[in-house]
Amino acid sequence: MNKNTIINKSIRRFFRACFLSLVLIYGTGSESIAQADIHFSQFYETSVLRNPSLTGVFSSDYKVGVYYRNQWSSISHPFETKLVSAEGRFQLSEMSNDFFSVGVLGFNDKAGSVDQRITGIYPAVNYNKSMNPEHNSYLSVGFTGGHLQYSFDPAKATFNNQFQGGRFDVNLPSLENIPFAKMSFWDLGAGINYNTSMGPDNNVTCVVGFSGYHFTQPKFSYYQVEGITQNMRFNGNAAMGFNVTESILAQMHVNAAFQGTYKEIVAGGLISWTKELAEMKSFTLTGGAFYRMADAVIPVIRVKYNSLAIGVSYDVNVSTLKAASNMNGGFEITLFHTGDFTNKGMAKKMVCPKF
C-alpha cells in the first residue's frame, strides 16, 4: 500500500471520527441548540412538514405519493431521504362549504458513514372554514403531532486509537465509551393558512400561511441525560397561480423557514401546459426553476398523465461549497397519485385548482 493511499484512508477515517464526535456531543449536557430538520427542493409536495394547515388543500379529494432525495453523493457518503404521504379531505355536509382534512407523512433519513438515521411519522388534521364561497376563500387551521427516532450504527464508527503505524486495524480497541445507539421523542406543530381566488372568473388563486414546529422542544442525547435542545422552527409560505391561456398555467411559490440561527428561503415558479385527451383524460407538462438563497439553483420538470404525476429536480450547488462539490447537490424524484372518492354524494365546493 503506497503512502498516498494510506494518507487518503487516514483522512477518510478522521472525518468519520469527527462525524461520530458530533453525534456524541448530543450527550454532553451542554446548553447548545440543535437544528436537525430535513428539507426538500420540491417543498410544495410536503404539506405536513411545511404547514399542517395545507393538508388537503388541492383540487382533488385525495393525494398519495412517494418521495426520494439523494444529496452530497459527490463529496461524501450521500444523505438519503425516503418519504411517503397520504392526504384526504371530506365535506362536512351538503349544506356546508366547510371541509375537514386528514393526512399522514412518514420518512427515513440516512446520513454519514455511521448511518445516522432519522425516522419520523407525522399524522395531521386540518379544518377548512369557508369565508367567502363566491371567491373560494378558506381559512384553514391545522395540527400535527409526530414521533421521531434518531439512531446510528456504532459498528461502523472508527477512532484514532485504531490507527497504529500509519495503518488502520479494526481489531484494535477503540477505547471509547459508546452510548445508546437510539433516542426518540414526540413532536408537535401547528399552522394557519388562507387561500382565495380573484379576478373576473376566479382564475387567480392566492395562498398564504404560517406555521411552527417543535413546540415540545425535545432534547437530543444518546446518553439518556439532558442534551441539546432543538430549536422551534417557524415557516412561512405564499403562492399564486393564474391562467396565461386556457391551457397554460403559471405558478409562483415562496417558502421561508427559520430555526435558531439557520434560515432557508426558496422562491421560484412553474409553467404548466395541459392537453385535453379523449375519454376525459389529460396530459400536463410542467417546467420551472427555484432558487434556494445562497445555496442552489433548482430546475424542475414534472409530467402528469390523468391522475398520476412524476416530478424530478436537481440542486445545482452555488454555495461556498461549490468548488468541493463541483456544483453537484441533491437529486429528487416524486411520484403522486390524485383522485376523487367514488361515492360522491356531495358536490365539490372547496376549490383550489391552481395548486
Which DSSP string corresponds to 221-269? -TTSSS-EEEPPEEEEEEEEEEESSSSEEEEEEEEEEEETTEEEEEEEE
146: closest CA among 123, 127, 126? 123
Query: Do 51 and 237 contact (CB within 8 A), yes or no?
Result: yes
Q: Which of 6-15, 87-96, 308-317, 346-355 is least confident?
A: 6-15
**Contact present, 287 and 311 (Cβ < 8 Å):** no
Average model confidence (pLDDT) for the chain?
83
Q: What is the pLDDT of residue 166?
A: 75
Q: CA–CA separation, 207 vs 228, rounded Å?
A: 35
- Does pLDDT of 118 surpass 80? yes
Residue 203 burial (CB count, 10 A): 16
**Separation between Cα atoms, residue 23 and residue 314, nearest integer Å:** 28
Cα gap 200→215, rounded to integer Å: 42
pLDDT of residue 234 exceeding 50, the answer is yes
Report the alpha-carbon distance of residue 282 to residue 102 in Å, rounded: 27
CA–CA–CA angle 243, 248, 250 (5° rounding): 60
Would you state the pLDDT for residue 345? 45
pLDDT score at 23:
41
Per-residue pLDDT at 74 exceeds 90: no
Find out whether 238 and 208 touch, Cβ atoms under 8 Å.
yes
3-state secondary structure of 117: strand
Reported as a pLDDT band with limits 50, 70 and 90, residue 343 is low
pLDDT for res 72: 64
pLDDT over 70 (residue 14): no
Higher pLDDT, 92 or 255: 255
* pLDDT at position 335 over 70: yes
Distance CA 296, CA 326 (A): 12
Query: Of 152 and 155, which is predicted with more confidence?
Result: 152
220 vs 35, higher pLDDT: 220
pLDDT of residue 16: 43
286 pLDDT higher than 60: yes
Q: Is 215 left (phi over 0), alpha (psi -120 to 50) or beta?
A: alpha
User: Which run of H or of E encompasses 325?
Assistant: helix 322-325
Closest CA to 49 of 91, 101, 78, 84: 84
Domains in the chain, start-ordered, CATH in brackets? Answer: 3-339 (2.40.160.40)
The cell 397520504 sits on which residue? Answer: 86
Residue 132, pLDDT > 60, answer yes
- Report the DSSP beta bridge partners of residue 90: 100
Which position has the higher pLDDT, 29 or 270?
Answer: 270
Asked if 26 and 163 touch (Cβ cutoff 8 Å), the reply is no
Say what the pTM is: 0.83
pLDDT at 349 exceeding the cut of 50? no
Higher pLDDT pick, 328 / 340 = 340
- Tell me, what DSSP letter sits at residue 49? H
Beta bridge partners of 330: 71
pLDDT range class, residue 45, cuts 50, 70, 90: very high
CA distance 122 to 48: 7
Q: Which residue has the higher pLDDT, 4 or 238?
A: 238
Chain centroid to CA 56: how far? 17
Q: Which of 93-107, 171-185, 208-222 has the lowest mean pLDDT?
A: 171-185
If you average pLDDT over residues 291-296, what whole number do you get?
Answer: 94
